[in-house]
Structure 1
Amino acid sequence: MPADLQLALLIAILLPASKIIASLCTRLGIPPIIGELMVGVAAGPACLNMLHMRLFSGTPATDAFLLLAQIGGFVLMFIAGLETDIERMREAGPTAFLVALLGVVWPFFLGAGTAHLFGMSWNNAWFLGGALTATSVSISARTLMDAGKMTSPEASVILGAAVIDDVMGLFVLAFLAAACNAKSSAAFGLAPQVSSWIQTTFPVAGAHPLVVEIALILLSVTSFFVVGYGAAKKVIDPLIRLFRKIDATEAVTSCVLALMLLYAVSAEWLGSIAGITGAYLLGYVCAEAKLKTLVERTFSAIGHGLLVPLFFISIGLSSNFRALGGHWLLFGSVFVVAVITKVVGCGTAALSMGMGSVQSLRVGCGMISRGEVGLIVTAMAAGTGIFNESEVAVMVGVVLLTTLVTPLIMRGAFAIHCPEDLDDSHLVTALDGRLISSELSMAEVESQR
């Protein structure tokens, strides 16, 4: 069967299945994202192992499916940026930074300590701790969308902190790469490659590789956010107006999609941060654009109708619990540490910044899921021989399981009522009352006419 038909068959099987299971989850009061993830788990190597069936194994169709799923991750984060409450995000800046900081420190040190207690060397243990640092913002963003909480104060802190600790996780990655002289890290972005050249050219820099790498990553990240945000803020509305003049169907959608992909590539290569962060940054800027509704309408259909479900299915497809073998106790302990350190560390930070206890709990729960940076650290450790197959399976399993439980725990946390929720509801009620009064007044004017 030709590769294009194999890809079509994969999507035709998995996409409707994810929507059906997601619908069943919704009826049972379970976040629909769990249904999409579980379809991937069922189709993955732990169950059906669909991608390794004779019909699909070793064909370009499986690679194309996974690549298409990664594009779905970019689209998801762009939509999350569009739905971000800008004013609340700005107000949450200091809180988000402290939440991110403690959300990196606690998992790094306690994760490494736990791994060492189970017999891992400190070199291996530091890598395991590093893999636990960064939060997968895409999972929390989708859960907040499904729950209708994207405009809540907690969402602003969670999204801001997740982006910040993604950057902090890269500094941990640079530290680990310099500590073990991992050659594979040179391929991750422009900064490590420039760092390698500087260390080779200048002996003084070669004697202090960690300082050079940290400095270049800091410069790259700062430059990307400053230049990327400033450029998008200045040109996004004129660009959308220009795209509207193109005499073609959905020209605005196509051109904004291309711009989003360009930001994702730039974030990964020039900014040395995850590509989804670049997509989120552009969406964040578009949230303030005057022509936001033109973009939001079609991206929601493309994303939630096709690409976003494929992204979550692909996460489930990466799971393989069979490789854990006799390491279930290590897996369980690392998983508990991964959950507790985020809930306690991030929740404590939010509480110390004046948020309520329930709100702080929600923030901590929203930071549980792990993602791209954790998998990058794991892959680097595996490529350099630091992690063996079972340790890789432990980390991939922890990433997957934290992804699965985050929506459930977040839903439970948001189900707990607190006084701050009443304040927000009163505000919404007041706004609705003003809108209703305005509509009634307009109706009276029209009747008098």
Structure 2
Amino acid sequence: MISTESMQFLSTINSSLPLLATTGETADSSLVVAAVLLSLVVIYFASKLGGELSNRFGLPPVLGELVGGVVVGISILHFLVFPETGADSSSSLIISFLKTTAGLNPDAAESVFVAQSEVISVLAELGVIILLFEIGLESNLKDLMAVGIQATIVAVVGVAVPFAAGTAGLMILFGIPAVPAIFAGAALTATSIGITSKVLSELGRLNSKEGQIILGAAVIDDVLGIIVLAVVASLAKDGAVDVGKVVYLIISASGFLLGAIALGNLFNKTFVAIVDKLKTRGELVIPAFIFAFVMAYIAAVIQLEAILGAFAAGLVLEETDKRKELQKQIVPIADMLVPIFFVTVGAKTDLSVLNPAVPTNREGLVMAFFLILIAILGKLVTGFSVFGQPQINRLAIGVGMIPRGEVGLVFLGIGSSINILSKPLEAAIIMMVIITTFLAPPLLRFVFPEPTLVSPNSNELLLDASSGTSLAINSSNSESLEANPNSQEAN
């Protein structure tokens, strides 16, 4: 039975949904809810089927979720489409289904479509915030600080090399004007921390030395990318760089990250004390989400990414005694919301730009090949900038920095909104984002080999999946491992 409070809560949501509609007639709130529910059915079906098929082929499930999103999205089946991709209500099979089965008025269809799209987009944003909070809980602040210098160098190289090479190449080879070339070069600097961290977590490499460098570099990379984006957007709008805004972003980003680290030492005991005094359901997970959302809000308010705030919150709470219990409670919530993010990213990807039969796509294809090459090589070199780590997997670090994902789409969206990108250049950036996003997960699986099993009659290497280190084990002590399997945990 549904409680009176639950009914009142649902009624409040229903009454507020019409406010999301911005075009056409006022959306019927019950039909908006129906459209959202159908969208979630499509999303969960695509994510689960795609993830299972990807897993069967030995690929990370996140890649299957992205591909599943492409299949149900604007590129193929048109179940899940969004206004920002140029689609309208007539392009959505979900809206068409509602017209047939639920009596949706054609005049109100556009309003329902817009409201439904906004709700799904908000849920996707919430999903990536929870994902980064979960990743923060799985990371170790001390380990991140230990690789801080290497991560900073990797991030700076990963921003500078593709930005300079992409901008110069577009201007010299293709004759692109300076401002759009600079903007396209800026789009090459991004790294999708959400996609990379998810794959590293699935591979059990998140807390390896390589994983910590990748994660730390991706965080710094995002901060640097935001600053670059602010500079080029200011240049495109005003013809001049707002130095004051750039200085503000640098100071706010640095202050936020340093403040989050300092907060960890002061907040941990207070958080645990508060949780221990709470006796009702959700006594741990609700305060944790309050803290994560407040941190995400602060990051967004000071013009950083909300996901960085959530990640910082996870890092802070990782230091508490409640970390393992909190991780267990967040898993089912993440399982419900995170797939929405990845499927939505795939659904918004328009593969029609890959069609060479369209004349306007041909120039874009040539530029896309150039941008993809720079995007991959510009990040691969980052691994070779790591110093003082002779045994580290440098190729894995470079591959981990490749995917642009939703971050690259943000750059593209801003460039399109201020009308500085030509259609071929816009198509080239889209293709670069697509290829780098889909290429990175299987490449990460390739460069991070599976742990080697111990042979009972020969010397073998046992790889620790969490640290990437190797231990030599001979046949004699392998027998002792079999006799005492708990000793493997010690290793």
TM range, smaller chain: 0.7 to 0.9
Partner residue, 1:96: 151
Q: 1:253 to 1:364 in 2, by over 3 A?
A: same
State whether residues 135 and 311 of structure 2, in contact with CA within 8 Å, keep that contact through their aligned partners in structure 1: yes
State whether residues 169 and 373 of structure 1, in contact with CA within 8 Å, keep that contact through their aligned partners in structure 2: no
Partner residue, 1:186: none
The one of 212, 223, 231 equivalent to 1:167 is 223
Higher relative contact order (CA 8 A, sep 6+): 1
Give 1:254's aligned amino acid. I
Deviation at 1:244, TM superposition (A): 4.2
Deviation at 1:230, TM superposition (A): 2.4
Deviation at 1:48, TM superposition (A): 1.4
> Which moved further from structure 2: 421-430 or 215-224?
421-430
State whether residues 274 and 373 of structure 1, in contact with CA within 8 Å, keep that contact through their aligned partners in structure 2: no
Q: 1:297 to 1:390 in 2, by over 3 A?
A: same
State whether residues 49 and 68 of structure 2, in contact with CA within 8 Å, keep that contact through their aligned partners in structure 1: no
Give 1:318's aligned amino acid. K
State whether residues 376 and 402 of structure 2, in contact with CA within 8 Å, keep that contact through their aligned partners in structure 1: yes
Q: 1:251 to 1:282 in 2, by over 3 A?
A: same
1:424 has 2:474 as partner: no
Q: 1:178 to 1:439 in 2, by over 3 A?
A: closer
Q: Determine helix, strand or coil for the equivalent of 2:280.
A: coil
Partner residue, 2:288: 256
Q: 1:4 to 1:233 in 2, by over 3 A?
A: farther
Partner residue, 1:283: 314
Partner residue, 1:194: none
1:131 has 2:187 as partner: yes
Deviation at 1:267, TM superposition (A): 0.9
1:354 has 2:385 as partner: no
The one of 234, 259, 264 equivalent to 1:227 is 259
Partner residue, 1:447: none
> Which moved further from structure 2: 327-336 or 392-401?
392-401
State whether residues 368 and 406 of structure 1, in contact with CA within 8 Å, keep that contact through their aligned partners in structure 2: yes
Q: Determine helix, strand or coil for the equivalent of 1:349.
A: coil
Q: 1:178 to 1:71 in 2, by over 3 A?
A: same
Deviation at 1:296, TM superposition (A): 0.8
Deviation at 1:232, TM superposition (A): 4.2
Distance 2:207 2:443 in 1: 19
Q: Percent identity?
A: 27
**Aligned counterparts, 1:74-113, within 5 A:** 74-113=129-168
> Which moved further from structure 2: 89-98 or 99-108?
89-98
State whether residues 85 and 150 of structure 1, in contact with CA within 8 Å, keep that contact through their aligned partners in structure 2: no
Distance 1:240 1:390 in 2: 54
Distance 2:74 2:420 in 1: 24
Distance 2:404 2:93 in 1: 32
Calculate the TM-score normalised by the size of structure 2.
Answer: 0.77
TM-superposition CA deviations, 1:98-125 (whole Å, max 9, x none): 1111100111011112322123112211
Q: Determine helix, strand or coil for the equivalent of 1:289.
A: coil
Q: 1:417 to 1:295 in 2, by over 3 A?
A: closer
Rg bigger for which structure? Answer: 2
Partner residue, 2:58: 29
TM-superposition CA deviations, 1:5-58 (whole Å, max 9, x none): 211111112203311221121121111111100111111211112233153362
TM-superposition CA deviations, 1:219-241 (whole Å, max 9, x none): 21122123333234412342243
Distance 1:25 1:128 in 2: 32
Partner residue, 2:486: 436
TM-superposition CA deviations, 1:198-257 (whole Å, max 9, x none): xxxxxxxxxx95431221112211221233332344123422431343332123212211
Partner residue, 1:243: 275
Distance 1:55 1:254 in 2: 34
The one of 439, 445, 453 equivalent to 1:405 is 439
Distance 1:323 1:398 in 2: 11
**Aligned counterparts, 1:58-207, within 5 A:** 58-116=113-171, 117-182=173-238
1:386 has 2:394 as partner: no
Distance 1:64 1:177 in 2: 28
State whether residues 367 and 425 of structure 2, in contact with CA within 8 Å, keep that contact through their aligned partners in structure 1: no
Distance 1:355 1:301 in 2: 39
Structure 1 residue runs without a partner (length 5+): 184-207, 441-449
State whether residues 136 and 369 of structure 1, in contact with CA within 8 Å, keep that contact through their aligned partners in structure 2: yes
Deviation at 1:421, TM superposition (A): 5.1
Distance 1:12 1:428 in 2: 49
Distance 2:306 2:177 in 1: 32
Deviation at 1:78, TM superposition (A): 0.9
> Which moved further from structure 2: 97-106 or 52-61?
52-61
Deviation at 1:3, TM superposition (A): 1.0
State whether residues 274 and 372 of structure 1, in contact with CA within 8 Å, keep that contact through their aligned partners in structure 2: no
Q: 1:244 to 1:349 in 2, by over 3 A?
A: same
Distance 1:248 1:216 in 2: 43
Distance 2:168 2:275 in 1: 54
1:299 has 2:330 as partner: yes
Q: 1:435 to 1:95 in 2, by over 3 A?
A: farther
Partner residue, 2:374: 337
Distance 2:39 2:159 in 1: 38
State whether residues 69 and 314 of structure 1, in contact with CA within 8 Å, keep that contact through their aligned partners in structure 2: yes
TM-superposition CA deviations, 1:154-189 (whole Å, max 9, x none): 001000000011111122123213323359xxxxxx
Distance 1:276 1:75 in 2: 8
State whether residues 76 and 138 of structure 1, in contact with CA within 8 Å, keep that contact through their aligned partners in structure 2: yes
Distance 2:207 2:244 in 1: 40
Give 2:92's aligned amino acid. M
State whether residues 159 and 225 of structure 2, in contact with CA within 8 Å, keep that contact through their aligned partners in structure 1: yes
RMSD of aligned C-alpha atoms?
A: 2.9
Q: Determine helix, strand or coil for the equivalent of 1:319.
A: coil
Calculate the TM-score normalised by the size of structure 1.
Answer: 0.84
The one of 317, 337, 345 equivalent to 2:347 is 317
State whether residues 237 and 418 of structure 2, in contact with CA within 8 Å, keep that contact through their aligned partners in structure 1: no
> Which moved further from structure 2: 53-62 or 307-316?
53-62
Q: 1:24 to 1:246 in 2, by over 3 A?
A: same
